[in-house]
Amino acid sequence: MWVLVATFLIFFMHAGFAMLEAGQVRSKNVANQLTKNLLTWSVGVLAFFVVGAGVSAVVGTLTSSGSFAPTDLYSTMTTNAVNDWVGWLFGAVFAMTAATIVSGAVAGRAKLRAYVGYTVLLAAVIYPVVTGFTWGGGLLAINPESANGWIADVIGAGFADFAGGMIVHGMGGIAGLTAAYVIGPRMDRYNADGSVNVIPGHSMTFAALGTLILAFGWYGFNVGTAASVFAVEDGSLVLGAFDTVGRVALNTTLGMAAGAVGAGLATLYKTGKVDTLYVANGLLAGLVGVTASANVVVWYGGIISGLVAGAQLPFVFEFVEKRLKIDDVCAVFPVHGSAGVVGALLIPFFHVDGFSASLLAAQVAGVAVISAWTVLATGAVFGLFNAVGQARVSPEHERDGLDVSEHGVDTYPEFGTPDTVTDGGSDVVRMDGGTAAAGGIKMVAAIVRPDRLGDIKQSLAEAGAPSLTVTNVSGRGSQPAKTGQWRGEEYTVDLHQKVKIECVVADIPADDVVEAIRDGAKTGEPGDGKIFVLPVEDALQVRTGNRGPEAV
Amino acid sequence: MWVLVATFLIFFMHAGFAMLEAGQVRSKNVANQLTKNLLTWSVGVLAFFVVGAGVSAVVGTLTSSGSFAPTDLYSTMTTNAVNDWVGWLFGAVFAMTAATIVSGAVAGRAKLRAYVGYTVLLAAVIYPVVTGFTWGGGLLAINPESANGWIADVIGAGFADFAGGMIVHGMGGIAGLTAAYVIGPRMDRYNADGSVNVIPGHSMTFAALGTLILAFGWYGFNVGTAASVFAVEDGSLVLGAFDTVGRVALNTTLGMAAGAVGAGLATLYKTGKVDTLYVANGLLAGLVGVTASANVVVWYGGIISGLVAGAQLPFVFEFVEKRLKIDDVCAVFPVHGSAGVVGALLIPFFHVDGFSASLLAAQVAGVAVISAWTVLATGAVFGLFNAVGQARVSPEHERDGLDVSEHGVDTYPEFGTPDTVTDGGSDVVRMDGGTAAAGGIKMVAAIVRPDRLGDIKQSLAEAGAPSLTVTNVSGRGSQPAKTGQWRGEEYTVDLHQKVKIECVVADIPADDVVEAIRDGAKTGEPGDGKIFVLPVEDALQVRTGNRGPEAV
Amino acid sequence: MWVLVATFLIFFMHAGFAMLEAGQVRSKNVANQLTKNLLTWSVGVLAFFVVGAGVSAVVGTLTSSGSFAPTDLYSTMTTNAVNDWVGWLFGAVFAMTAATIVSGAVAGRAKLRAYVGYTVLLAAVIYPVVTGFTWGGGLLAINPESANGWIADVIGAGFADFAGGMIVHGMGGIAGLTAAYVIGPRMDRYNADGSVNVIPGHSMTFAALGTLILAFGWYGFNVGTAASVFAVEDGSLVLGAFDTVGRVALNTTLGMAAGAVGAGLATLYKTGKVDTLYVANGLLAGLVGVTASANVVVWYGGIISGLVAGAQLPFVFEFVEKRLKIDDVCAVFPVHGSAGVVGALLIPFFHVDGFSASLLAAQVAGVAVISAWTVLATGAVFGLFNAVGQARVSPEHERDGLDVSEHGVDTYPEFGTPDTVTDGGSDVVRMDGGTAAAGGIKMVAAIVRPDRLGDIKQSLAEAGAPSLTVTNVSGRGSQPAKTGQWRGEEYTVDLHQKVKIECVVADIPADDVVEAIRDGAKTGEPGDGKIFVLPVEDALQVRTGNRGPEAV
C-alpha cells in the first residue's frame, strides 16, 4: 500500500521535470521539451515492461552466480502475483526518472526520433544493466542467499546506494553529459573564439515550481524506498523497519536544505549575489547527494553531503561549460551526475557504523563501473544517430525553434503576435513591383482594434498592399476608460489594447491604403482608431539591395 | 486511511483541470476559467452534501427494489458514523470531477451564472442519478443482497465500471458536448461558409502541467477505488483485496502510456508531426480508457484500451468540429466522452474471465442509458438558460474576453500594457477639435523610462494632448549597460526597457507636447530618453472619416 | 507511516505558497519571491533543527511546571528514536508554513538579508515560543500528567487549536502584517494625499495553481494532524481515532467550499462581480477558518466558520489597506491572520459538546497572548533591521525590481526584450556629438529577423551609431507563410516574428546607417526585411534639454 503511495509520488516527479526543464529552455523549445517528457514516460514505461525488467533480472544473475534463466526475460508479462506488478511499477518509476534527466541536457537541438530511440534503449537495456549490477544482485552486490557479484566478491563489500543517488541520478546525469557532448552545443552557445554566450531559459517561475514538485516527489523516492522492502513482501507494515524510515526522512530533509544553502553561499561567493536558479538547483543537488546514503549516515553526514553537493554546482557547471565546452542546458550533470557521485563516495565517511575502507573501495568501484558503462552505451547510441545524421535537427530548425519545426506548435501562441484566426488573404499577394505613384514613398501607420486585424489584412491584400508590420500597442483616444479589478478593488485602465499597422507603399497611392485600412477597421464605435500618413525619404530591401520605390 | 489519501489525490485533480483548461483557452478568458474551476468545487461540494448524496441513494433503491426511504435524502447530514463521512467525501470528489469536465467544453462564452447553476444541478441531481443507476445499486446493477436493478435483471448482468470511466468521465464528456452544442460555438470559430478557424490556447506549458497533475491524481482515482471497498469498511487494510490493487496499478500505467503513444502515432499519421497537445490529451484519454476496466482486464487489454482511446482522439475531435460543428474548446468529448465509452465497451473482450455476451449487453445498455440521461438532462438545463437569454455572454463581452467582462479582471496585467498605477489625468480630456497650429500635423515620438508613464500622461493631458499610443520597446543610448545573470553567469544587457510614446497633434504646437513629455519624463539621470518630432502628411479618424487636422 | 504522508503533503504547500505569492507580485519581483520561498524552507528547517525544536520544549516546561531541562535544547540532535525524528519533521513543516506566510506580506521591498534573518529567528525562537505555550504543554495548555500552564490553570480550560489555525496561520498572518507595517508600503502604493494605487500581480494563473496546491497540502495539514497523535506512537493505525479523521476531513472540505462561496458573495455584493482572486483567497481563508476547529465542531459549524472566514476577506483587506495604510501585498493578514482568529474564537459556539464559557475565555486569552507575542517579537526584529537601514532595499532597487537588483536575475528573460546573447559591441560607444551631416536629422527604421539583432548592434556600433530602439513586431512581406498547429489542425501564420530597429542620426549620414544595418541583417533568404529613412524635424534629449542635432 505504502509502496504505491511512494510510486505515485515518484511518478509525479515527471511533472516536476517537465516544469523544471520547460522553465530552463527558450520559449521556442518549450513544447518540444514537454513532448519529450511525456513520451519519455509513455514510451519508456512500455519498453521497461516488455524488456527492461527482464534484462535487469538476467544481468543480475549472469554477473553473480552466472546462471541464466531465459524465462526471467519476460516474467513481468506472465506473472499473476500482485507483488510482482507493484514491484515492477516501483522499478519503472525509477527507470523513467533516469531517462527523463537526459532530456534536460540535450534540449534545444536533439531530434525527437533520436531522443525517443535513446529512451527506448535506456529503459530496455542501459538502465536495467545498471540495476542488474547492483540492486538486481549482480556484479557489485553482496548476496546473502546466492553467489556474490564478481567485483563485490573481490572487494568483500557491496556497492551501497540506498535509493539511486548514483544508480538513478548519477547515471542519468552522466548519460546526459555524454549525450550533450556527442550532439554538440546549441548554435551561438560558443563564439568562434571559444568564449561563452549565456542563453537564459524562459521562465524562472516554472523552474521553481518544477523544483518544488520534484522535492515533494523525492520524499516518495527516498522514504518510499525505505519502506518498500517489507511493504512489497506482505502488503502491510513491518514495524522493525520504521527506524530506517525516520532516519531517511530526516536526512532527506536536512540534505535538501543544506544543498540549497550550499549553492546559495557558493554563488554569493562567486558573484556577490544569491542566484535564484542555483538555490533551486542546489536544493535538488542536496537531495541527490543524500539519496544514496539517507538510510545509513548520521544526521550531520546528511547535512555535509547536501552542503557539498550544493556548493559544487557552480564550479562543476563552469568546468563543464568553459573547459569541456559541453552545452548541458539544464545543468543535469552538476545537479544529478556529480552530486550523485559525491553522495555515493561520502557514505563510508559518515556511516552510522563508522568508516570502512572496503566500503570505500566498493563505492569507488561502483561509481567507476556505472560511469564507464553509461558513457560507453550512451556515446555509442548517440554516436550512431550522429553518424546517420539523425541526432540533431538542421540549423534552420534549431534557429526557428524545435516547437515549430518538429511539432508545428507554438507554446504561447499569443506571445508576440496578435493574430488569432486563420484568415487574411495571403493568397492574393502580388509579386510585381508596380510603378511608383505620384508623391513618392509613404508610410501609412494605423492604430486600430486588435480584433479587426484579420479584416484589415484582407482588405489590404485586395488593395494590392499586402506587406505590413504589426505591433502590439496600447493607446488612449476618444474611447472611454475601462475599469479593472485586482482583489476586488477597481482601477482605471485608460490605455486600451490596440495594434499598430504600418504599411510602406510607393506604387499605389497612400490614399488607397488608408481607405483599405479604414474599410477593415471600422465598427462605428468610439475606439476605432486613427490612420496617419508619413513621408519616407528612402527605402532599401535587405536581401536584394534594391533602393527607393523598387524596394517597397 | 488509504481511501483518504486517494481522496486527496482525486481532489488534486482540480488543480490539474484548472491548469489544463487554463492553458487551452485564450489569455482573455483564463481568469474566468479558473473561477469556474474554483466554484465548481466549492458550490458543487455543498450541493452534493446537502442533496446529491441522498438523491443517489434514493435513485438506487427506487430503480431496483422500488422501495423508497425519505430519510436517505438527508442522511449525510444526520449521520455520525465516520465511515459515512469518509465515504461521502470519496463520492464527492468523483462527482466534482464529472462537473468540472463540462467547464472545458463551454469555455470562452458560457455565462458564469448559467455554468454555476448547471453545476449545482449536476452535483445535486444529474450525476447522482447516474451513480444511483449503477454504484448505488439501481437500474443497471446486480445486487447480491437485495433486488437487482430492472435492466440488469433483464440482461442478467450488471454494468461494469470500475472507477467511473463511463459513470464519471464518459458522463462528463457527453454533458460537455451537449452543453457546447446548446450554447453554440465561440464567435469567429466558424466562417460563414462553414469552414473552421483554429483558436489556439494561450499556454502549452500549463496544459502539460495540468495533464501530469491529472495523471498523478488519477492513480488515486483508480488505485484508490481498488482499495476503497474494504478500507472504508473497517479503516484498515484487508490483504485479500491487494490483488486487485496490483492489477489496477499496472493497467492504469500501461493504459496511460499507450494512450499517449496512440495519440502521438495518430497525429504522426495525420499531419506528419507528433502533436504536443494530442500526446498530452492522449495520455489522459488512455487513462479514461482503462478507468472502467482496470480491475478486470488482462495487461494487454489495458494496453489496447489505452491505444484505442488515444488513437481515436484526432478523428473524433475532427468529426465533432467539422461535421457536428460543435465547439468543444478543450476537447472534453474525445478525451473523456468517447474514450470512456470505448473503454466501457472493450471490457468484455479482455476480461480475465474471458468473453461474456451478457456482459457486453450490459455494457451497451449502460452506455446507452447514461448517455441518454446525460444528453437529456444537460440539454434541458442549458436549453432553459438559452431560452431566457442567460446561457451566453453578449458578443461584446465575448470579444473583450470573459475575464474583464464577467470578473473585471486581467489575468496577466503586465502583458501588453505598461500601465501600472491608477493615474493619468483621464478626467481632463478635452473634446473640442481645436484649430490647427502653424506647421501642420506632427507626430511627437518619445522613448522614455517606463515608470515615468503616469506622469507623462498627466502632463500631456494638462497640455491638452491626451491622445497617445504606448509601445513597449527596449533601447540603447547613453545609459550604462546592466549585468544580467543566468545560473550565476553574467551577461551584458545593453538594451534597457523603455516605453515609446507617440502623440500626433495638429491644433497645439508640437513644441508644447515635447515640453509636456519632457516635464513628465525627466529624472536627471542618464537613460531619461529622447523626443523626436516627425512630419505627418495626412490623418484620418476611422470612425468619423474626418481627415487632416480635424482627425487628430 | 501516515504521519509521513501528511508531512509530505504539508511540505508540498511550499510549492503552493511559492506559486500563490509569485502570481501576486509584479514580474520584476518574482525571482526574489521564489528565492525567499526556497530559502525559508532551507534556512528555516536547519534553524528549527538546531535550536527551534528545543526552544519549544523548554518554553513548554518553563511556563507550566516551571522546570527546565537544558538537555531538551538539543535533544533533536542526540536522539536515536525514529519517532522523535518523524515528530520533529512533522513539527518542522508546520513551523516553515508559518514562516513562509510572512514573505507574502513584505514582497517587493524587503531586503533578502532582513527576510532571511527574520526567518532564522522565527524558526529558532518566535514560533517555537508559540508552540511551547500551547502544543508544547506550556502557558495555555491543560496537561493531564503534569502541571497545567499558568494561564490555562487560572481559566480552567486549555486553548484549543487543532491543527494550527491560530498557532500557525494566525501567527503567520499577524507577523506578516506587523512586518509590512514596520518596513512601510511599496513605492507608489499610496499617493501623497493618502489615496490608494492598485498594483496588480503578474499572473492569476500561478495564483490559482498555488491556491489548489495549498488546498491539496491542507488535507495533510488537517487530516494528517488528526491521525498523527497515534500514528507517531506506534507506527500503525489505531482504530479509535479514525472517528476524528472523518470529522476533520468533512469539516475541512465544507469549510474550504464555504470560504470560496463566502468570498465570492462578498465581492459580488461589493463590486457586482465575482472576483477571481478573492474566490481563490476565500477558499484558503475558509481552510484557515476550520483548521483550529475541524476535529470538534459540528458540520454546520464548519460551513459557518468557512463562510465567515471567506466573507470577511474584502472588508478586512480594505480596512488594512485604507485605514491602517499597511501594504500587505498578498493579503496574508485577511487570509491567514483574521481568518485564523475568527476560526479560533468560533470553536466554543459550534463545539460538539455544546457551548462552554471557560473555553471561550481560553480562546480569547490564547488569541491575545499569541498576537501580542507575535507583534512584539516581529516588530522588534524588523524595527532593528530598520534602525540599521537593512530592512528595505533602496528606492532605485525597488523601482528596478528586486529580481535584478538583489539577484541579478530576470524571471522571464524573453519578455519585453528580444536580446538573447551577450554581444553587441557596447564597448565601442562613442560619446562625442559629431557634426551634423548634410540633410538634417533622419530616422532609420528597419524591420529585420530577430536573430540578426546582435550582428546589427555590432555593425551599428562600428558605424558610430550605437543608439537604437528595438521593438518586437510581426510582419508580412515576401517571406512565405508558415503553418502552425493546434491540436493537430493546421492554420496559416502569415505574420512572422520580426524586430523593428529605429536609429535617429544627425551627425553621420543616414546611408551609412542603412548600410550598417544591411550588413548585419542580410542572410540572403526571403524574409530579411526592409529599411526605411524618415525625415525628423526636431529632437530633444530629455536629461540635458539639448535640441536638434545636438540631441541625437
What does residue A540 show for φ and ψ, rounded to 5 degrees? -145, 135
Would you tell me the crossing angle of helices A276-291 and C30-47 to the nearest 10 degrees?
40
Taking the Cβ of residue A420 and every Cβ of chain B, the question of whether any pair is shorter than 8 Å is answered with: yes
C 19-38 near B (Cβ less than 8 A): 26-27
How distant, in Å, are the alpha carbons of A58, A116, A316, A373, B118 from that of A378?
21, 13, 21, 8, 55
Cβ-proximal residues to A284 (8 Å cutoff; 6+ apart), any chain: A211, A214, A215, A259, A335, A336
Task: Please give the residue that has the higher pLDDT: either B343 or C73.
Answer: B343
Q: Which of A488, B126, B216, A165 is nearest to C196 (CA)?
A: A488
User: How many Å from the N-terminal Cα to the C-terminal Cα in chain A?
Assistant: 71
* Span of B415-429, C311-325, C478-492 with lowest mean pLDDT: B415-429
pLDDT of residue A230: 37
What is the distance between the alpha carbons of residues C434 and C464, in angstroms, rounded to a whole number? 10
pLDDT of residue B97: 92
The three cell numbers of residue C498 are 520580426
User: Do the Cβ atoms of C446 and C504 come closer than 8 Å?
Assistant: no
| C215, pLDDT greater than 70 | yes
Q: Taking CB atoms and an 8 Å cutoff, what residues of chain B touch C280?
A: 34, 38
C 67-106 near A (Cβ less than 8 A): 77, 81-86, 88-89, 92
Rounded to the nearest angstrom, the gap between the alpha carbon of residue B357 and the centroid of all alpha carbons in its chain is 38
pLDDT band at B415 (very low <50, low <70, confident <90, very high): low
User: Do the Cβ atoms of B310 and B154 come closer than 8 Å?
Assistant: no
Cβ-proximal residues to C536 (8 Å cutoff; 6+ apart), any chain: B532, B533, B534, C440, C441, C442, C443, C504
* Helices (H), ranges, C140-198: 150-155, 171-183
Q: Which of C149, B355, C265, B279 is nearest to A37 (CA)?
A: B279
Neighbours of chain B (3+ CB pairs under 8 A): A, C
| A241, pLDDT greater than 60 | no
Q: Taking CB atoms and an 8 Å cutoff, what residues of chain C touch B484?
A: 404, 408-410, 413
C280-329 confidence digits (pLDDT tens)? 999 999 999 999 998 889 999 999 999 999 999 999 999 999 999 999 99
Contact between A27 and C414 using a beta-carbon 8 Å cutoff: yes
pLDDT band at B424 (very low <50, low <70, confident <90, very high): very low
Contact between C420 and A199 using a beta-carbon 8 Å cutoff: yes
| A262, pLDDT greater than 70 | yes
In angstroms, the separation between the Cα of residue A492 and the nearest Cα of chain C is 10
The three cell numbers of residue A423 are 484568415
- The per-residue DSSP string of A395-450 comes to HHHHHH-HIIIII-B-SSTTSS----SS-S-GGG---S---PPTT--EEEEEEE-G
B442-466 confidence digits (pLDDT tens)? 888 888 887 788 788 888 888 877 7
Contact between B525 and C504 using a beta-carbon 8 Å cutoff: no
pLDDT of residue A419: 38
Q: Which of C32, C317, C410 sits opposite A487 (nearest CB)?
A: C317
B212-254 confidence digits (pLDDT tens)? 999 999 988 887 776 544 333 333 333 345 567 888 889 999 9
Q: Which residues are bridge partners to C499 per DSSP?
A: C448, C472
**Range A469-473 average pLDDT:** 82
Number of neighbours of residue C84 by Cβ within 10 angstroms: 17
Cβ-proximal residues to C383 (8 Å cutoff; 6+ apart), any chain: C182
| A272, pLDDT greater than 60 | yes
A 335-354 near C (Cβ less than 8 A): none
pLDDT band at C419 (very low <50, low <70, confident <90, very high): very low
- The mean pLDDT of chain A is 84
> Which of B28, B42, B444, B457 is the mutation pick for testing C, counting most C CBs within 10 A?
B42
Taking the Cβ of residue B533 and every Cβ of chain C, the question of whether any pair is shorter than 8 Å is answered with: yes
Q: Which of B495, B520, B492, B515 is nearest to B505 (CA)?
A: B515
Neighbours of chain A (3+ CB pairs under 8 A): B, C
The three cell numbers of residue A292 are 544514496
Contact between C198 and B422 using a beta-carbon 8 Å cutoff: yes
- Model ipTM value: 0.84
User: Do the Cβ atoms of A107 and A329 come closer than 8 Å?
Assistant: yes
Cβ-proximal residues to C262 (8 Å cutoff; 6+ apart), any chain: C282, C286, C306, C307, C308, C309, C310, C311, C313
C119-177 confidence digits (pLDDT tens)? 999 999 999 999 999 988 889 998 887 888 889 999 989 999 998 999 999 999 999 99
In angstroms, the separation between the Cα of residue B326 and the nearest Cα of chain A is 17
| A340, pLDDT greater than 80 | yes
**Range A6-33 average pLDDT:** 90
Give CA angle at C429 (C424, C431), nearest 5°: 160
Q: Taking CB atoms and an 8 Å cutoff, what residues of chain A touch B552?
A: 530
| B186, pLDDT greater than 80 | yes
Q: Which residues are bridge partners to A489 per DSSP?
A: A486
What is the distance between the alpha carbons of residues C42 and A255, in angstroms, rounded to a whole number? 9
Q: Which of B317, B409, B410 sits opposite C275 (nearest CB)?
A: B409
Q: Provide the residue count of chain C.
A: 552
Tally B–C CB contacts below 8 A.
Answer: 305
Taking the Cβ of residue B243 and every Cβ of chain C, the question of whether any pair is shorter than 8 Å is answered with: no
In angstroms, the separation between the Cα of residue C52 and the nearest Cα of chain B is 30
- The mean pLDDT of chain C is 84
pLDDT of residue C17: 93
> Among all residues of chain A, which has the CA nearest to that of C532?
A539
Residue with cell 563510508: A348
Number of neighbours of residue C209 by Cβ within 10 angstroms: 31
Contact between A260 and C42 using a beta-carbon 8 Å cutoff: yes
Burial profile B214-242: b = 16 or more Cβ within 10 angstroms, e = fewer: bbbbbbbbbbbbbbbebbbeebebeeebb
pLDDT of residue C233: 33
User: Do the Cβ atoms of B100 and B40 come closer than 8 Å?
Assistant: yes
Burial environment of residue C305 by CB neighbours within 10 A (0 to 12, 13 to 18, 19 or more)? buried
Q: Taking CB atoms and an 8 Å cutoff, what residues of chain C touch A257?
A: 41-43, 45-46
Contact between C467 and B483 using a beta-carbon 8 Å cutoff: no
Give SS3 for B486: strand
pLDDT of residue B160: 92
B 456-475 near A (Cβ less than 8 A): 457, 466-472
Tally A–C CB contacts below 8 A.
Answer: 304
What is the distance between the alpha carbons of residues B402 and B466, in angstroms, rounded to a whole number? 29
Tally A–B CB contacts below 8 A.
Answer: 305
pLDDT of residue A431: 34
Taking the Cβ of residue A240 and every Cβ of chain C, the question of whether any pair is shorter than 8 Å is answered with: no
What is the distance between the alpha carbons of residues A163 and A10, in angstroms, rounded to a whole number? 12
Q: C468: part of which helix (H) or strand (E)?
A: strand C468-476
Contact between A271 and B299 using a beta-carbon 8 Å cutoff: no
Q: Which of A491, A500, A534 sits opposite B537 (nearest CB)?
A: A534
* Span of B2-11, B346-355, C27-36, C244-253 with lowest mean pLDDT: B2-11
What is the distance between the alpha carbons of residues C476 and A458, in angstroms, rounded to a whole number? 12
Residue with cell 519508456: A44
Give SS3 for B347: helix
Contact between B86 and C249 using a beta-carbon 8 Å cutoff: yes
Q: Which of B211, B237, B540 sits opposite A514 (nearest CB)?
A: B540
B83-131 confidence digits (pLDDT tens)? 678 888 888 889 999 999 999 999 999 999 999 999 999 999 999 999 9
Q: Taking CB atoms and an 8 Å cutoff, what residues of chain C touch B486?
A: 409, 413
Q: Taking CB atoms and an 8 Å cutoff, what residues of chain A touch C19?
A: 205, 209
What is the distance between the alpha carbons of residues B249 and B298, in angstroms, rounded to a whole number? 12
What is the distance between the alpha carbons of residues C144 and C156, in angstroms, rounded to a whole number? 13
Q: A75: part of which helix (H) or strand (E)?
A: helix A75-78
Residue with cell 550550499: A262
pLDDT of residue C393: 93
Q: Which of B279, B424, B488 sits opposite A38 (nearest CB)?
A: B279
Q: Which of C30, C86, C530 sits opposite A249 (nearest CB)?
A: C86
* Helices (H), ranges, B79-170: 82-105, 112-121, 127-133, 150-155
What is the distance between the alpha carbons of residues B275 and B269, in angstroms, rounded to a whole number? 11
Number of neighbours of residue B446 by Cβ within 10 angstroms: 28
Q: Taking CB atoms and an 8 Å cutoff, what residues of chain C touch A490?
A: 198, 271
Taking the Cβ of residue A168 and every Cβ of chain B, the question of whether any pair is shorter than 8 Å is answered with: no
Q: Which of A236, A169, B331 is nearest to C488 (CA)?
A: B331
pLDDT of residue A437: 45
How distant, in Å, are the alpha carbons of A57, A59, A60, A68, B351 from that of A65?
12, 10, 9, 9, 40
- The per-residue DSSP string of C528-551 comes to -EEEEEEE--EEEETTT--BGGGG
In angstroms, the separation between the Cα of residue A184 and the nearest Cα of chain C is 18
Q: Provide the residue count of chain B.
A: 552
